[in-house]
Structure 1
Amino acid sequence: MSQLPIELVLPQLTQAIAASNQVILKAATGAGKSTHFPLRLLQSGTVSGKIIMLEPRRIAARNIAVYIASQLGEAVGKQVGYRVRGESKVSAETKLEIVTEGVLTRMLQDDPELTDIGMIIFDEFHERSLHADTALAFVLESQEALRDDLCIVVMSATLDAGDLKRVLPDAQYIESEGRSFPVDIDYQPMSQNDRLPEFMAKQIERLLLRESGSLLAFLPGVGAIKRVQELLEQAQIEASVCPLYGQLDFAAQQAAIEPAKLGERKVVLATNIAETSLTIEGIRLVVDSGLENQAWFDLKTGISRLEQGRIAQSSAIQRAGRAGRIESGLCVRSIVRLNFNHSQSRVPRKSCAVI
């Protein structure tokens, strides 16, 4: 832990938190911002009051809480806890609480003054959502009107500091380098006759034959994951295949995240939940479909629906970075042609409220 890149800027962070109630932290993937930074805050006693850290995904909230608690030699739910939809592990001892977006929104509605809370950390803020943007707006309002002692930290690996500076003009800005190895990028075009699951399965098989190490494949949704898993099992590849998506039970998610057994290889088939905050040990190969399921809201019907869409450039960078955590890696990006027919009455469900 002591060799994590975030250690180099911890003195600056400590000074910034002491001097300002608003801090922007840009830290590359693998720097330790989601785990080591809050752990050091907890150990140092720098923050007076409870620390709340917002994570956009439940799986990340659980795993970060479990990991930090293990570094303290404790079970989750004591000094470090988490709250996600339908599940809570906190106690009167909890000083660091990792929560998901809806939980923070409800906390703000129930107690706008945020009593007993000394700091709120917005992690992976580049992902942007209506909940996160609204929460930041409410927290800033609370800070200005009720709690000038409340500290706000906004952090991400790929955030646009210029946009955030317009919202937080007085914030201290700190940047930390990551610790990663070179990742070669290869592009594989899909023909019009190719189906995504079959194409992805072929790319995975090809890479496993040519390259060493475990592999992480990004797919748009659960249906594609199950189909690719079926194809790989039929091909009898020499690797264990593990799905990873939000609806999986906790044990199955942990099985996907844990390192492969000695002498074995692993193929993890994941949605975009594996882009950030989670470290899957042993990955040096990434196959990226370049797609994700996106929620669109139809203003005429008032109904939301999921449709496949291309990921943002920041997501592509995050996905490729997963291949360079332990050694030089390789990322294969598929080039997919999509026919979009979004009418003007439809807007992305993740509309941005603040920036």
Structure 2
Amino acid sequence: MRLINEEWLNGQRIVMLEPRRLAARAAARRLASLIGQEPGELVGYQTRDERRIGPNTRIEVVTEGILTRRLQNDPELPGIGLVIFDEVHERNLPTDVGLALCLDARKNLRSDLRVLAMSATADTDRFAKLLGDGEPAPIISSVGRQHPVDITWAPPGKQQRLDDAVADVTMRALRENAGDILVFLPGIGEINRVQQALERSVAPDTDVYPLAGALSLADQDRALAPSPAGRRRVVLSTDIAETSLTVNGVSVVVDAGQARVPRYDPRTGMTRLTTIPTSRASAEQRAGRAGRLGPGVAYRLWSKLEHTTRRSHLDPEITQVDLSGFALELAAWGTPLAELSFADRPPEAAYKQGIELLQMLGGLDHEEKLTDTGRRMLAAPVHPRLAHMVTSAHPRDHGLACVIAALLDDRDVMRGRPDE
């Protein structure tokens, strides 16, 4: 909030990138509350399906796609003096793309544009070098309040389903501790199944709430609201509560130890969500959520021995996913890949494969230049294969093409149906 009064900003706006819609809304609400306002006044936010920005807004919290579209529409970012990238440690591909485009715009068009990267766990030296102009950018460290958290190892039985094990450990945590409980699960399907199991077992004074980006705004707000006096709550969340937002009142964490991440699927030639074990860094972040208010407890559904074999950090998306959408964005931007700055370079073979797919679909010509078809594909927020289907469909079949694209986009939606 203090940055808006800096002389170098010269009355321009600040844009802050959040990787998730729920996090963007929560961040804007939190910033606005610090000055006794609601989003849409000095602080606003914009996501794909919601916009709360007014004529006096100076700080705009936006999601990844919003920033990329602004850059593609006007690379000079007029009226914007600072772009903040939050949660850069997550290494999402859209964040890496947005950062690369911002740095390129600063280099060639806007030498006065300031770029700030924020993270709880990122490799600070790497990002300082990436953001620096000839020499590493300054690093500012802040030590938050953190109380000790006791770790309890609670691996499931050999024949026990993860959902059942999580429900059992959560009931154990309710018996052994006071306060609210935050449970980390890989996706909305697991959340629904654990919620059903817990609601059959918890005491009458305990509420069970799901928390995920796929839920309605009302359901999300309900999960984040403090518990009424005399009641406890269990919040079942995806990794969105790991660092992007804070669930108040939590003193106990139950961690299933899994995350759903994008990975390239050679069978379909597209990226799909895959469930994998979390990294040690992620486990530490999750456990830390129990130590915000006072000493806490974290139950991990794996063994201490297994913990030592887990990766310290997960691989960045740019090295693991299909890059055809990435190649389409770069073709629209116009700067050669070799001249853009990334914390990790994309694999050459995967990038070439993305180019070849776009040429086959007609999105790029033989010189790898963007075509009219490619521009239409770029406007559809789905994989290029699906974007081509939607933009090329006969008007009579356009609705059907959109439905098929939504189903094939694999955003964990179908897993979230309670009657699945």
Query: What TM-score do the two structures reach when normalised by structure 1?
Result: 0.82
Instruction: Write the mapping of 1:142-221 to structure 2, written as runs, cut at 5 A.
Output: 142-168=105-131, 169-221=135-187
Q: Which residue in 1 is equivalent to 2:24? A: 61
Q: Which residue in 2 is equivalent to 1:28? A: none
Bigger mean CA deviation after superposition, 234-243 or 108-117: 234-243
Confirm or deny: 8 A CA contact 2:126 2:343 kept in the other structure: no
Instruction: Write the mapping of 1:235-254 to structure 2, written as runs, cut at 5 A.
Output: 235-237=201-203, 238-254=205-221
SS for the counterpart of 1:335 is: coil
CA shift for structure 1 position 335: 1.2
SS for the counterpart of 1:41 is: helix
Aligned: 1:324 with 2:288: no
Q: Which residue in 2 is equivalent to 1:348? A: 320
Aligned-partner Cα distance in 1 for 2:289–2:36: 28
Bigger mean CA deviation after superposition, 188-197 or 106-115: 188-197
SS for the counterpart of 1:253 is: helix
Aligned-partner Cα distance in 1 for 2:296–2:166: 18
String of CA shifts for 1:195-241, please: whole Å, max 9, x gaps.
Answer: 01110000000011111110000001111111111111111334110
Q: Which residue in 2 is equivalent to 1:42? A: 4
Confirm or deny: 8 A CA contact 2:4 2:13 kept in the other structure: no
CA shift for structure 1 position 143: 0.9
Q: Which residue in 2 is equivalent to 1:289? A: 256
Match 1:94 to one of 57, 68, 80: 57
Q: Which residue in 1 is equivalent to 2:280? A: 313
Letter in 1 for 2:98: A
Larger Rg: 2
Letter in 2 for 1:156: S
Q: Which residue in 1 is equivalent to 2:407? A: none
Confirm or deny: 8 A CA contact 1:129 1:350 kept in the other structure: no
SS for the counterpart of 2:260 is: strand
Q: Which residue in 2 is equivalent to 1:33? A: none
Q: Check 1:255–1:300 CA distance in 2 against 1; reply closer, same or farther (3 A cut).
A: closer
Aligned-partner Cα distance in 2 for 1:54–1:74: 21
The structure carrying a bigger strand percent of its residues is 1
SS for the counterpart of 1:226 is: helix
Aligned: 1:234 with 2:200: yes
CA shift for structure 1 position 46: 6.0
Aligned-partner Cα distance in 2 for 1:64–1:204: 29
Match 1:130 to one of 68, 74, 93: 93
Structure 2 residue ranges without an equivalent (≥5): 307-318, 327-341, 345-420
Sequence identity percentage: 43
Letter in 1 for 2:194: V
Letter in 2 for 1:47: L
Confirm or deny: 8 A CA contact 1:295 1:350 kept in the other structure: no
Match 2:67 to one of 81, 100, 104: 104
Match 2:36 to one of 60, 73, 76: 73
SS for the counterpart of 1:174 is: coil
Confirm or deny: 8 A CA contact 1:241 1:267 kept in the other structure: yes
CA shift for structure 1 position 134: 1.1
Match 2:244 to one of 252, 274, 277: 277
Aligned-partner Cα distance in 2 for 1:301–1:230: 33
- RMSD over equivalenced CA pairs, Å: 2.0
CA shift for structure 1 position 162: 2.5
Q: Check 1:252–1:99 CA distance in 2 against 1; reply closer, same or farther (3 A cut).
A: same
Instruction: Write the mapping of 1:293-304 to structure 2, written as runs, cut at 5 A.
Output: 293-299=260-266, 301-304=268-271
Aligned-partner Cα distance in 2 for 1:216–1:125: 23
SS for the counterpart of 2:15 is: strand
The structure carrying a bigger helix percent of its residues is 2
Query: What TM-score do the two structures reach when normalised by structure 2?
Result: 0.70
String of CA shifts for 1:264-315, please: whole Å, max 9, x gaps.
Answer: 1110000011111312111000000110112222245313322211122222
Aligned-partner Cα distance in 2 for 1:350–1:154: 25
Aligned-partner Cα distance in 2 for 1:41–1:320: 31
Structure 1 residue ranges without an equivalent (≥5): 1-38, 338-346
